[in-house]
Structure 1
Amino acid sequence: MTGPTGLSARRTAPDLARGLMLVLIAVANAHLYLVDRPIGYRGYPAGLVGGDRVVAVVQMVLVDGRVYPLFAALVGYGLARLADRAPEGVLRRRGVVLIGVGALHGVLLFPGDIIGAYGLVVLLIAPVVATGPAAGPSAGSSRGLLAAAGAIAAFGVLLSTGQGTPQGVPTVPSIGAPTVGAFLAAHPGEWFATTLFSALLTAPAVLVGVVIARSGTLDDPVAHRRRLALWAVGGLAASVMLGLPLALAVVGTWVPAGVAAGLAGAAHTAGGYAGALGLLGVMGLLASVSWPGRDLIAAAGTWSMTLYLSQSVVFVAVFATVAGGLGSSASLTTATVTGLLVWLVGVLVAGLLARAGHRGPAELLVRRATYGHAPS
């Protein structure tokens, strides 16, 4: 077994995807902090007007339900790379560590945490992802992993039929809690429920990410531009078409009912998987050419977990009722712009530090807990 991959040996495309993914996460989470108002579909405020309606439609077809499967695919990519150099026990330990980080994040800050869900998936699939002589007959073929991903995704889509009706309450109710005690007391239950449901919905993307890593597509994006372009065009087209019905419901253009509501919810989730692949294709294409800021964003991508956690710190400080309190009055556009600014500052700070050879604090913690005292 070897230790963690050194900074100089990392691939540009996956790190660039992680850096760009962070802006999508910021945008996707921003509306969840808008509380103390009527809540409609997918946690968006009801009765959106003006520019907020445009922002909501764009988010629904390209970001909402798309970014966390994208994140999951990159987790799967990283898991496959870890399996190339470490035994199954290390993979399982990585899953346990991620669950621990997610629990701390969810209980102390944001119970909509996704890290714990990825940790649970990693822990469960470690035996079939492990490679090498010690892996034994349990190691899964790429075809088998794709078949399992398809079956789990179909079940997740079926469960998503309920998303075609208005929520009525915020996705994360504790954001509007009036006291710090109530804010913290609600977190364990919210985090646990979110983790289980998110693990189910994102497990297919983690498995697909493992297969993508094995294919080498992101390792050499220049040589795979045709495949990446196919992902981008096909994935994003499906994402828009499948996400548009529920997007129109979010802005009040129509009110789905009965079977139509169930189909709209299921289509949105199915479009999320397609959209994640489409976004990954776009990011791979962006990695295949040089452009200003590319290397800085890729460097920031090596701090992806640290930046993800720091976004929650800023959002809670600005929007939570027990802190800045802007969640009760900010518009969707304001929340989205706040997310963009948080990402931009994070990229500038983390990118410069990473290029100077520094790893993110969360990344160092996870690596030390996973590898013990292996050199970093």
Structure 2
Amino acid sequence: MLNKTRSLAPDLARGFMLLLIALAHAPAFVGDWSGPAWLAFTKSLIADNQARDMFIFLFGYGLGQLAHSRRAKGLEWISTRKLMRRRAWWLIAIGLLNTALLVPFDIIAVYGLTLLALAPMVRARDSVLWWTAGLTLIPATLLLAWQSVIAQAGPVTMTSFMAGTFGEHVIGNLPTWPGNALAGTIMVVPGMLAGIWAARRRLLDEPERHLPLLRRLAYGGLALALIGRLPAALLAAGAFPLPATPLRWAIAVGHDLTGYAGGVGMAAAIGLIAVRIHRRGPLTTALTALGQRSLSFYLFQAVVWVVLFYPFGLGLHDDLSFAATFVIAVAVWVVSLLLAWLMHAAGYRGPGEVLLRKLADRPETPVSSQVEAPARLSP
């Protein structure tokens, strides 16, 4: 059976996050973006470069949880570091396969590369975490803003790059992987380090002990995101014409920089909600089950996008509208909720999580047991 002692808030946040990821990704697979302006407004305000930041924050939080649990079991840091690096290599491999076989934008390999490079940051001083996060926030925001400025002139969708056959799809995707993964690594660092810091204080594991801080993070982060992201959302909705280049950059920087605050703010808001949940009903159970299997259902979404939209699948990229992709995104998330709930009821973990653990984890003995081992082996 699954571990019943897991904290509620992190899994709730991961389950909700997959809805935002679906809303951000699904429209990228159709060429016709005409439709209700409020949908473009909503996507820009809530999902674009904010859902990913929430995902990144929760990834860092998970690293902090892992370090805390292993320390509580008496395991040495060197074994934790080796485990993290093994997981990093396998995340890179899984992400590479995801890029080659499914969709060319991937976050899993980016997580692996970042973890491989920065595993020691899990036990760095708070000041080191914040200085590193602050310094990397500058290039991370500029890279995101560069992409956003290009998108302001018109959506750049996957329809221009879709291959006619699966073989051509794989061959075409592979060359894009190194550059995308390395650039993505820079974007991940600030949010990941913030997540590690939050996990040290167990903000989401013990939210009832941190209500004032969670309120400041939730209300302040979401308010800042609303103010900073509103101009870009209005531009996406066509509320005003495309401005001059300097103002376009200012709008993009404001949108993407405050997306980090919004991602943390949404996670903190879910922490506040978790405190008020005294009984786990069906929806809460399904959401947490989905959050516990976030890797599996992130990959599940990628499979759905390939099957629905690519020419060697159902080829619906030219038949569906921008608005229809929102319906599909919500439907995929609801199906994911149902499947996760059924897996929870049956006692099955997510296949992605099981595979990663089998590949990367090894049986280990606490330090105290290691000291006593030679005596037990004596005749």
TM-score by length of 1: 0.87
1:8 partner SS: coil
2:258 maps to 271
In structure 2, C-alpha distance between the alignment counterparts of 1:327 and 1:76, rounded to whole Å = 34
The Cα shift of 1:169 comes to 6.7
1:243 partner SS: helix
Alignment pair present for 1:331 and 2:321: yes
2:179 maps to 193
2:16 maps to 20
Matches within 5 A, 1:22-171: 22-35=18-31, 37=32, 45=33, 48-49=34-35, 51=36, 53-84=37-68, 85=70, 86-129=79-122, 139-162=123-146, 163-166=148-151, 170-171=156-157
In structure 2, C-alpha distance between the alignment counterparts of 1:240 and 1:322, rounded to whole Å = 40
Return 242-251 or 101-110, whichever deviates more: 242-251
Return 158-167 or 86-95, whichever deviates more: 158-167
Unaligned 5+ runs, structure 2? 71-78, 366-379
1:132 maps to none
Q: Deviations over 1:126-157 (max 9, x none)?
A: 1221xxxxxxxxx4112210211111012222
The Cα shift of 1:61 comes to 1.2
Contact kept in structure 1, 2:41 and 2:233, CA below 8 Å: yes
1:217 pairs with 199, 203, 206, which one? 203
Contact kept in structure 1, 2:159 and 2:317, CA below 8 Å: no
In structure 2, C-alpha distance between the alignment counterparts of 1:23 and 1:161, rounded to whole Å = 23
In structure 2, C-alpha distance between the alignment counterparts of 1:28 and 1:182, rounded to whole Å = 25
1:351 maps to 341
Distance 1:98-1:329 versus aligned 2 partners, 3 A rule: same
In structure 1, C-alpha distance between the alignment counterparts of 2:275 and 2:116, rounded to whole Å = 33
Contact kept in structure 2, 1:94 and 1:119, CA below 8 Å: yes
Contact kept in structure 1, 2:221 and 2:262, CA below 8 Å: yes
Distance 1:351-1:146 versus aligned 2 partners, 3 A rule: farther
In structure 2, C-alpha distance between the alignment counterparts of 1:210 and 1:93, rounded to whole Å = 19
Larger radius of gyration between Structure 1 and Structure 2: 2
Alignment pair present for 1:307 and 2:300: no
The Cα shift of 1:173 comes to 5.2
One-letter amino acid of the counterpart of residue 56, structure 1: A
2:276 partner SS: coil
* Paired residue total: 350
Alignment pair present for 1:9 and 2:17: no
1:241 maps to 227
2:251 partner SS: helix
2:246 maps to 259
2:312 partner SS: coil
2:167 pairs with 181, 205, 208, which one? 181
The Cα shift of 1:332 comes to 1.8
Return 10-19 or 247-256, whichever deviates more: 247-256
One-letter amino acid of the counterpart of residue 103, structure 1: L
2:275 maps to 288
Return 193-202 or 111-120, whichever deviates more: 193-202
In structure 1, C-alpha distance between the alignment counterparts of 2:160 and 2:362, rounded to whole Å = 36
Contact kept in structure 1, 2:218 and 2:265, CA below 8 Å: yes
One-letter amino acid of the counterpart of residue 296, structure 2: T
The Cα shift of 1:174 comes to 6.5
Contact kept in structure 1, 2:99 and 2:173, CA below 8 Å: yes
One-letter amino acid of the counterpart of residue 247, structure 2: A
Distance 1:308-1:345 versus aligned 2 partners, 3 A rule: same
In structure 1, C-alpha distance between the alignment counterparts of 2:51 and 2:100, rounded to whole Å = 22
Q: Which runs of 4+ in 1 moved over 4 A?
A: none
What's the C-alpha RMSD, in Å, of the aligned pairs? 2.1
1:321 maps to 311
One-letter amino acid of the counterpart of residue 63, structure 2: L
The Cα shift of 1:364 comes to 0.4
Contact kept in structure 2, 1:109 and 1:312, CA below 8 Å: yes
Return 171-180 or 343-352, whichever deviates more: 171-180
